[in-house]
């Protein structure tokens, strides 16, 4: 083990397992490790670094606000907080009745959404619906919404009332009734392997929730801030939800989350019903406001849409038996593998100087900066193709060794 990995193993909680490298700096779509090896970052902090690393707009916003006002608590309002709230309402189409609650992370935003559902439900509506294979966080409330049994089992019993249903319109129709307080969905299930909902699902969900008086809450933590080629994933089906949760890309790397409510849902929270000491602090909100302004100014939503098509088409043409397909929208892309070698492929890519992610054993997830262009895409294809060849070669060698080590067939076997 290296010195840094020994330090990590000794000093850090073991929740994240062994760290893959010691990264020391970043610029644009690249990061460097402690040995000054350069990597093309096509994970982007898991869809977080919307502007890449050390973008001048991000650096300037942090510096200016840090020198002005960092924290005051929510007994007071600040100009960055109000400006960001107004911007998020405008971008989401929340209208004059919309409201924004600021948190420090996506899990906290989903905790707020859970409480919003409870406020809507009361004793008459104890049911909250979420989808199988969904991921909404690891805090107790957000974990209750998350469908991964391996994550939930050590911490059970979960908060009551959440039911996980298949991600089909038929299952939703069967589950929905007047005792449902809310349905929470991701437009694309990122942690499940970048799995899109069936066509028309969000439209059907909007219709059914309205008919039964339930809230439709859309988890846009991974899909928001232009990631899918629209400002938000729900835009692709032209619906208006009751609430959305945000984090990751809206801060461009600075920790911040948000719950945006629409219409009547905005009146559910009352003074004292929820809060956060750090949520909405002027430093975080100033940085997020600057990041979103740059995404708007440079039309990075449009770039995400165009580069996403370019990437998916190029990946589909890679000549490798390991590539089984490609899915996703914009710059949230899942590469389906024909064998469960995603972990090996991540390691091979890193050795080549490329950072990608294994969403599961058969899926590679990529979520690069919204700023990427032809040069980054060309380099990605070169490095990823080489990593595929490395893994394919390793598999072929292993299979050959396995075959050669098998005992020879006896010629004294069954002669019938």
Q: What is the pLDDT of residue 54?
A: 98
**Which is the catalytic residue, given 41, 42, 102, 219?**
219
Q: What is the pLDDT of residue 372?
A: 98
Quote helix, strand, coil % in the chain, to nearest 5: 45, 20, 40
Q: What is the pLDDT of residue 399?
A: 59
Instruction: Tell me if 276 is assigned to a ligand binding site.
Output: yes
Dist CA 41 CA 23 (whole Å): 11
Determine which of 47-51, 86-90, 404-408 has the lowest per-residue pLDDT on average.
404-408
Comma-separated ranges of CATH 3.90.1150.10 domains in the chain: 3-54+299-401
Instruction: Tell me if 107 is assigned to a ligand binding site.
Output: yes
Task: Report residue 93's pLDDT band, with 50, 70 and 90 as the boundaries.
Answer: very high
Is 135 among the residues known to form the active site? yes
Is 219 among the residues known to form the active site? yes
218 neighbors 322 (Cβ within 8 angstroms): no
For residues 161-186, average pLDDT: 98
Dist CA 244 CA 106 (whole Å): 11
Instruction: Tell me if 219 is assigned to a ligand binding site.
Output: yes
User: Would the pLDDT of 267 be above 90?
Assistant: yes
For residues 117-123, average pLDDT: 94
Instruction: Tell me if 63 is assigned to a ligand binding site.
Output: no
User: Would the pLDDT of 406 be above 80?
Assistant: no
Name the CATH architecture for the domain at 3-54+299-401: Alpha-Beta Complex (3.90)
Dist CA 352 CA 384 (whole Å): 8
- For 58-297, CATH number out of 3.30.420.10, 3.30.420.40, 3.40.640.10, 3.20.20.80 equals 3.40.640.10
Q: Could you read off the pLDDT of 376-396 as tens digits, one per residue?
A: 999 999 999 999 999 998 766
Dist CA 344 CA 278 (whole Å): 40
Residue that the structure tokens 């380099």 belong to: 379
Kind of pairing, strands 363-366 and 354-355?
unpaired
For residues 254-277, average pLDDT: 96
User: Would the pLDDT of 285 be above 70?
Assistant: yes
Instruction: Tell me if 384 is assigned to a ligand binding site.
Output: no
Task: Report residue 416's pLDDT band, with 50, 70 and 90 as the boundaries.
Answer: very low
Comma-separated ranges of CATH 3.40.640.10 domains in the chain: 58-297
Joined tokens for residue 305 = 């849409």
Q: Is 401 exposed, middle or buried (0-12, 13-18, 19+ CB in 10 A)?
A: exposed
Q: What is the pLDDT of residue 403?
A: 52
Contacts of 360 (CB under 8 A, 6+ apart): 192, 193, 342
Cα 3 to the center of its chain, rounded Å = 31
**Distances 345 to 62, 130, 352, 383, 390 between C-alpha atoms, Å:** 36, 32, 10, 11, 8
Instruction: Tell me if 382 is assigned to a ligand binding site.
Output: no
Dist CA 103 CA 277 (whole Å): 9
CA-based radius of gyration for the chain: 23
Q: What is the pLDDT of residue 413?
A: 41
Q: Could you read off the pLDDT of 309-358 as tens digits, one per residue?
A: 999 999 999 999 999 999 999 999 999 999 999 999 999 999 999 999 99
* Percentage of the chain lying above the pLDDT 90 cut: 88
Nearest one of 218, 258, 253 to 81, comparing CA atoms: 258
Instruction: Tell me if 375 is assigned to a ligand binding site.
Output: no
User: Would the pLDDT of 114 be above 60?
Assistant: yes
Question: Which residue stretches of 136-281 are H helix?
Answer: 140-145, 149-152, 169-175, 201-212
**Which is the catalytic residue, given 102, 135, 254, 269?**
135
User: Would the pLDDT of 409 be above 50?
Assistant: no
Dist CA 332 CA 362 (whole Å): 16
Q: What is the pLDDT of residue 6?
A: 86
Looking at every residue in the chain, the average pLDDT score rounds to 94
Is 380 among the residues known to form the active site? no
Q: What is the pLDDT of residue 11?
A: 87
The per-type count for the chain, helices as H runs and strands as E runs, is: 13, 17
Query: What's the pTM value of the predicted model, to 2 decimals?
Result: 0.93
**Which is the catalytic residue, given 41, 114, 248, 380?**
248
Q: Could you read off the pLDDT of 193-210 as tens digits, one per residue?
A: 999 999 999 999 999 999
User: Would the pLDDT of 415 be above 80?
Assistant: no
Q: What is the pLDDT of residue 414?
A: 42
208 neighbors 173 (Cβ within 8 angstroms): yes
For residues 211-237, average pLDDT: 98
3-state class (DSSP) for residue 354: strand
Higher pLDDT, 365 or 122: 365
Instruction: Tell me if 277 is assigned to a ligand binding site.
Output: yes
Determine which of 5-9, 277-281, 357-361 has the lowest per-residue pLDDT on average.
5-9
List residues bridging with 260 in a β-sheet: 100, 244
Read off the DSSP letter of residue 279: T
Q: What is the pLDDT of residue 1?
A: 65
3-state class (DSSP) for residue 311: helix
């Amino acid at each position: 083990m290296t010195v840094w990995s020994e330090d990590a193993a000794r000093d850090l909680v073991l929740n994240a397992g062994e760290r893959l490298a010691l990264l020391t700096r970043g610029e644009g779509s690249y990061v460097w490790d402690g040995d000054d090896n350069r990597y093309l970052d096509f994970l982007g902090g898991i869809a977080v670094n919307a502007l890449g690393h050390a973008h001048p707009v991000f650096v300037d916003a942090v510096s200016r606000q840090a020198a002005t006002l960092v924290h005051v608590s929510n007994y007071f309002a600040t100009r960055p907080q109000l400006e960001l709230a107004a911007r998020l309402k405008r971008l989401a189409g929340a209208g004059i009745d919309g409201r924004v609650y600021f948190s420090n992370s996506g899990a906290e935003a989903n905790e707020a959404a859970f409480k919003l559902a409870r406020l809507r439900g009361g004793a008459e509506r104890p049911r909250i619906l979420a989808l199988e294979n969904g991921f909404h966080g690891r805090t107790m409330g957000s974990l209750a919404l998350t469908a991964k049994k391996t994550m939930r089992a050590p911490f059970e019993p979960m908060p009551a009332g959440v039911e996980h249903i298949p991600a089909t319109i038929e299952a939703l129709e069967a589950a929905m009734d007047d005792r449902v307080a809310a349905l929470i969905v991701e437009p694309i299930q990122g942690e499940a392997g970048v799995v899109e909902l069936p066509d028309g699902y969000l439209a059907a969900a909007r219709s059914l929730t309205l008919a039964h008086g339930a809230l439709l809450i859309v988890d846009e933590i991974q899909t928001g801030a232009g990631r899918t080629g629209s400002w938000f994933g729900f835009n692709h089906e032209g619906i208006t939800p009751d609430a959305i949760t945000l984090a990751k890309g809206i801060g461009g790397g600075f920790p911040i989350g948000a719950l945006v409510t629409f219409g009547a849902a905005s009146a559910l929270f009352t003074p004292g019903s929820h809060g956060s000491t750090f949520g909405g602090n002027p430093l975080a909100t100033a940085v997020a406001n600057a990041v979103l302004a740059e995404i708007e100014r440079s039309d990075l939503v449009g770039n995400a849409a165009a580069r996403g098509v370019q990437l998916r088409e190029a990946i589909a043409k890679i000549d490798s038996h390991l590539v089984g397909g490609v899915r996703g929208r914009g710059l949230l892309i899942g590469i389906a593998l024909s064998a469960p070698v995603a972990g090996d492929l991540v390691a091979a890519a890193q050795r080549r100087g490329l950072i990608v992610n294994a969403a599961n054993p058969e899926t590679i997830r990529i979520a690069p900066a919204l700023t990427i262009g032809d040069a980054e895409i060309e380099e990605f294809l070169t490095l990823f193709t080489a990593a595929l060849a490395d893994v394919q070669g390793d598999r072929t060698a292993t299979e050959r060794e396995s075959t050669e080590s098998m005992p020879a067939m006896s010629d004294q076997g069954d002669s019938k």
